[in-house]
Structure 1
Amino acid sequence: MITTSGLTKVYESRGRQVTALDGVDLHVREGEVFGVIGQSGAGKSSLIRCVNLLERPTAGTVTVDDTDLTALAGRGRRAGKDLRRARSRIGMVFQHFNLLSSRTVQDNVELPLEILGVSGADRSRRALELLDLVGLADKAKAYPAQLSGGQKQRVGIARALAGNPKVLLSDEATSALDPETTRSILQLLRDLNQQLGLTVLLITHEMDVVKTICDSAALMKKGRIVESGTVAGLLATPGSELAHELFPVNGQASGPDRTVIDVTFHGEAATQPVVSQLARTYNIDISILGAAMDTVGGKQIGRMRIELPGRYEENVVPIGFLREQGLQVDVVDDEAQRPGRSQQPHVPAQGLVKETVK
């Protein structure tokens, strides 16, 4: 549904050039919720604003629903008309709501339809339908100043849906909200994704957002996507930075001749007592150095860092036992562990892209 190829954006700032996007290739499948995560300055906002041509890319292409938007971004009345028509199929939800304070809630939702030339009666009917969909049917005549932050964002979502878009872009839509309101807005986005078949591309700096609603995710650093794939695929990939960030675990070996491993639990294995089985089967003492567990996509997933007695070569069989139980096992990198790490063949998860940024 969304594809960017070699997407580059360079800004002029005080006589120098700043590269916000550096050859970004992004692929978002129809009907999925795709999250782009990264720290401030990573290029997330520039990416999402280039997807709907609010920012004109310096180079590269943006294709949405089989339409090359960058090809419509030329000069002339015809090009502008075609681009506006293509944009009408892309909804946008902003971090700070961007509602017009002088207009009622209903009038704010009607605004895109007014711009598109829809008649007053049809605008009114569509706006009331959307307000009912987002749970604000009783607030149609209220003004933005009378609403809470969560209610304002629901109005913003209703407005974004006015033109029956196939794609919904969310630019840090929950970062200005409290945790409880954030959960309700994320649930609304997931419900709309499922009810309307919307493809949702959202950017965030919060890992909980990815864990809560995303089917796929990408990690951005310094204007580039360094890792992307389905959330399940990332969690099953050794060395995944996103998997580590989603389920962070820490802890170092308590002494020499110890093996530290990270074990990822997902699927049926997440409910099985495999660590205690390992201890009983091989009569070894296991230290738990750290653990993190949560529900992703309705399934329990977690990571645990454990310490085994002895060097890696002495723990090949116990580690093999864990893998036979359907667990992902990564040997934690340090000088003592590196030889063992190289003995772990791995086939990347389908759709995963990983790159090292220097």
Structure 2
Amino acid sequence: MITTKGLTKVYTSRGREVSALRGVDLHVREGEVYGVVGTSGAGKSTLIRCVNMLERPSAGTVTVDGVELTALRGSEHRAGRELRAARSRIGMVFQHFNLLSSRTVQENVELPLELTGLDRTARRRKAAELLDLVGLGDKARNYPSQLSGGQKQRVGIARALAGDPKVLLSDEATSALDPETTRSILKLLRDLNQQLGLTVLLITHEMDVIKSVCDSAALMRDGQIAEAGTLTDLLATDGSELARELFPLSEFGTGRPGGTVLEITFQGDASSQPFVSQLARTYQIDINILGAAVETIAGRLVGRMRVELPGSHQDNVVPIGFLREQGLQVDIISANGVLA
């Protein structure tokens, strides 16, 4: 649904060139919620603004729903009309709501419909349907100043849906909200994704957002994609930086000198298997559990455990092989007191 290839954006500031994006390749499948995470300055906002052509890339291509937007130029000619039509199928939700204070909630939602020339009766009917969809049917006559932050963001989402988009872009839509409100907005985005078949691309600096709502994710650093994939695949990938950020065990110990410390990741059916007791009985070894946690990530039960086995790595080759044969991901954290 969304594909970028070699996407590059260079700004000129005080005679110097600054590269915000450096050859970004991204693929978002139809119907998924895809998160892009990274620290400030990583290029996330520039990326999402290039996807809907609020910023024109310096190089590379952007294709949304089969239309290569970068091939269309904004002008009075046919290509300009095609670009506007393509952008109308992309909804955008902003961090700071961008609501007009002089308009009621309903009038804010109607605004994009006014710009398309839709008649007043049809506008009102459509806006009322959208406000019901986001749970604000009773706030239609209120003004933005009378709403909470979460309610304002719901109005912003309703407005973004006014053009019946196939794609919804979210630019740090929850970063200004408290945790409880953030959870409710994320649930709304997931519900809209499922009810309307929306493809959602969101950017965030919060790993909890990725964990709670996304199917796939990409880690951005210095204008590039450092790592990307479905959350399930990432969690099953040895050495995945995103997986470690999604499910950190850094607070747990690294064991005692002379032992081998393993980090075991299990998903789905494997989470119900008593593999620790099986390992202890089969090989008659004492296992020291240093820490464990279980969470739901992308709607799937995922667990991670850090254990210490007595002896060196070489002494534990067979037990480690046994764990991997059970479908578990096993990472060696340290052996003989030396970090791997």
Do Structure 1 and Structure 2 share a fold, with TM-score over 0.5? Answer: yes
Aligned 1:245-324 pairs, distance under 5 A? 245-250=245-250, 251=252, 253-324=254-325
**Alpha-carbon distance, 1:326 to partner:** 1.4
Secondary structure class of the residue paired with 2:189: helix
Aligned match of 2:81: 81
1:290 counterpart letter in structure 2? G
Q: Distance in 2 between matches of 1:321 and 1:254?
A: 21
**Alpha-carbon distance, 1:275 to partner:** 1.8
Q: Distance in 2 between matches of 1:176 and 1:102?
A: 22
Aligned match of 2:329: 328
2:264, 2:329 within 8 Å by CA — same for their partners in 1? Answer: yes
Bigger Cα displacement from structure 2, 259-268 vs 86-95: 259-268
* Distance 1:241-1:334 versus aligned 2 partners, 3 A rule: farther
Deviations 1:131-151 (A, max 9, x none): 000000000000000000110
Aligned match of 1:54: 54
Aligned 1:189-200 pairs, distance under 5 A? 189-200=189-200
1:248, 1:292 within 8 Å by CA — same for their partners in 2? Answer: no
Aligned match of 2:70: 70
Aligned match of 1:241: 241
Deviations 1:30-66 (A, max 9, x none): 0011011111111111000000000110110000000
Q: What is the RMSD computed on CA atoms of the aligned residues?
A: 1.7
**Alpha-carbon distance, 1:74 to partner:** 4.9
Q: Distance in 1 between matches of 2:255 and 2:185?
A: 44
Aligned match of 1:114: 114
Q: Distance in 2 between matches of 1:73 and 1:270?
A: 52
Aligned match of 2:17: 17
Bigger Cα displacement from structure 2, 279-288 vs 305-314: 279-288
1:297 counterpart letter in structure 2? A
Q: Compute the TM-score of the two structures, normalised by the length of structure 1.
A: 0.91
Deviations 1:285-309 (A, max 9, x none): 2223333321123321021222211
Q: Distance in 2 between matches of 1:46 and 1:272?
A: 45
Q: Distance in 2 between matches of 1:201 and 1:168?
A: 6
Q: What stretches of structure 2 of length at least 5 have no aligned partner?
A: none
Secondary structure class of the residue paired with 1:129: helix
Q: What stretches of structure 1 of length at least 5 have no aligned partner?
A: 342-358
Deviations 1:212-231 (A, max 9, x none): 11111111111100111111
Deviations 1:80-127 (A, max 9, x none): 222111100000000111111111000000111111111111111100
Report how many aligned residue pairs link the two structures.
339
Secondary structure class of the residue paired with 2:92: strand
1:20 counterpart letter in structure 2? A
Q: Distance in 1 between matches of 2:329 and 2:301?
A: 15
Aligned match of 2:166: 166
Aligned match of 1:145: 145
Q: Distance in 1 between matches of 2:213 and 2:145?
A: 29
2:326 counterpart letter in structure 1? Q
1:80 counterpart letter in structure 2? G
**Alpha-carbon distance, 1:257 to partner:** 2.5
Q: Distance in 2 between matches of 1:254 and 1:121?
A: 69
Q: Distance in 2 between matches of 1:65 and 1:335?
A: 53
1:189 counterpart letter in structure 2? L
Secondary structure class of the residue paired with 1:279: helix
**Alpha-carbon distance, 1:208 to partner:** 1.2
Aligned match of 1:213: 213
Q: Distance in 2 between matches of 1:275 and 1:109?
A: 55
Deviations 1:193-223 (A, max 9, x none): 0110000000111111111111111111111
Q: Compute the TM-score of the two structures, normalised by the length of structure 2.
A: 0.96
Bigger Cα displacement from structure 2, 3-12 vs 304-313: 304-313
Q: Distance in 1 between matches of 2:20 and 2:293?
A: 33
2:196 counterpart letter in structure 1? L
Secondary structure class of the residue paired with 2:169: strand
Q: Distance in 2 between matches of 1:152 and 1:278?
A: 54
Q: Distance in 1 between matches of 2:170 and 2:125?
A: 25
Aligned match of 1:345: none
1:318 counterpart letter in structure 2? P
Q: Distance in 1 between matches of 2:108 and 2:254?
A: 58
Bigger Cα displacement from structure 2, 97-106 vs 78-87: 78-87
Q: Distance in 2 between matches of 1:295 and 1:163?
A: 33
**Alpha-carbon distance, 1:78 to partner:** 2.8
Secondary structure class of the residue paired with 1:123: helix
1:247, 1:293 within 8 Å by CA — same for their partners in 2? Answer: no
* Distance 1:15-1:190 versus aligned 2 partners, 3 A rule: same
